[in-house]
Structure 1
């Protein structure tokens, strides 16, 4: 694995609604279940990228809550760091504003959401965000 500063920077959210359900996404390109996230645009803050990526992928507008521990992993020899926030929904964008990276969304109870995750670090983030 690469050492030092991350070459790829990304940000995302663990979106939790008023009922305590967690929003999870299916990405057809990877055929995986994960949490909404994406790479930072040039000059963009991690906070702004997290909000933008969640809205682009899910159509759900959110506000930031507490920051969760970042996740670092290797992507084809490059270190990727993803910063995460707990998010609360505050509205929805029109469906036509969603991108096509996600083909299915589900609101699940925390334990079900954690069990649905393809990657263990996503399940750990859900448990950290929900205390379950």
Structure 2
């Protein structure tokens, strides 16, 4: 395991160099070093034992209401927004059932 206090001067030097780089280069370095992924949320809308499914023009078959999260948006807020956009309904989100990470 590396000696972390001994690496501190190197770390501080790297920060000083990074800060002097042009902003577009800094952004490119940060983007290259961070994961890129897409996050979405779907929901089950049930009432009186019946499940609501959507048939959308851009997909084959049936789907659940939902969509992609905006930056900084929670899954619950995204579901509320998507259901309002897709169906014109105002819903209250219950507890999440599952989270799936597909890499």
Classify the TM-score, shorter chain: 0.5 to 0.7
- Deviation of 1:6 (Å): 7.0
CA contact (8 A) 1:12 1:51 kept: no
Unaligned 5+ segments in structure 1 are: 74-78, 80-132
- Within 5 Å, give how 1:16-31 maps onto structure 2: 16-17=46-47, 19-31=48-60
Which whole-Å CA distance do the structure 1 matches of 2:38 and 2:88 have between them?
Answer: 24
Between Structure 1 and Structure 2, the one with more strand by share is 1
- Deviation of 1:36 (Å): 0.6
Q: 1:33 aligns with which of 26, 39, 62?
A: 62
- Report the equivalent of 1:50: 79
Unaligned 5+ segments in structure 2 are: 1-34
Please give the per-residue CA displacement for 1:63-122, whole angstroms capped at 9, x wherever unaligned: 01121112344xxxxx4xxxxxxxxxxxxxxxxxxxxxxxxxxxxxxxxxxxxxxxxxxx
Between Structure 1 and Structure 2, the one with more helix by share is 2
- Deviation of 1:29 (Å): 0.9
Q: 1:13 aligns with which of 12, 35, 43?
A: 43
- For the pair shown, the structure with the greater C-alpha radius of gyration is 2
Whether 2:96 is the aligned partner of 1:67: answer: yes
TM-score (norm 2): 0.58
Moved over 4 A (4+): none
Greater relative contact order, per chain length (Cα 8 Å cut-off, separation 6+) = 1
